[in-house]
Amino acid sequence: MKEIEDIKNIIGDLVRDLNMEAKLNVTNIFNHWEEIVGTEISRKAKPDKIVRNTLYVSVVSSTWANELGMMSNQLIDRINSFVGEDVVKSIKFRQNL
């Protein structure tokens, strides 16, 4: 008789086999932005895209872009810690919200 395999294990194996882990980790940044950066920042800044390990973030004003720019190393650490790997190496902020 075949053993019944847990669906979580099946999905985990499929994700690994298709090399989708990194893509899922990047998606987690967008899906859990408020949890990663906090409520105040998430109200003023939204992630747009990631290109070559650079996260592009839209902010409500140039003041916020400047403020978050000074915090970028902390934000990078929070993001990478949350996803469990170094997917973001730099952040670029632009007024666009």
Q: What is the mean pLDDT of residues 67-84?
A: 96
Give me the pLDDT at residue 23, please.
Answer: 72
- Average pLDDT score, the chain: 88
Tell me which residue of 24, 42, 9, 25 sits closest to 82, measured CA to CA.
Answer: 25
Give me the pLDDT at residue 46, please.
Answer: 97
Residue type, 17: D
Q: What is the mean pLDDT of residues 3-23?
A: 70
Helices (H), the chain: 7-17, 21-31, 33-37, 39-44, 62-70, 72-83
User: What pTM was computed for the model?
Assistant: 0.78
Q: What is the mean pLDDT of residues 55-79?
A: 97
Answer yes or no: is pLDDT of 41 > 80. Answer: yes
CA distances from residue 56 to 16, 50, 62, 64, 65 in whole angstroms, order as listed: 27, 6, 14, 14, 11
Q: How confident is the model at residue 1 (pLDDT cuts 50, 70, 90)?
A: very low
Q: What is the mean pLDDT of residues 72-80?
A: 97
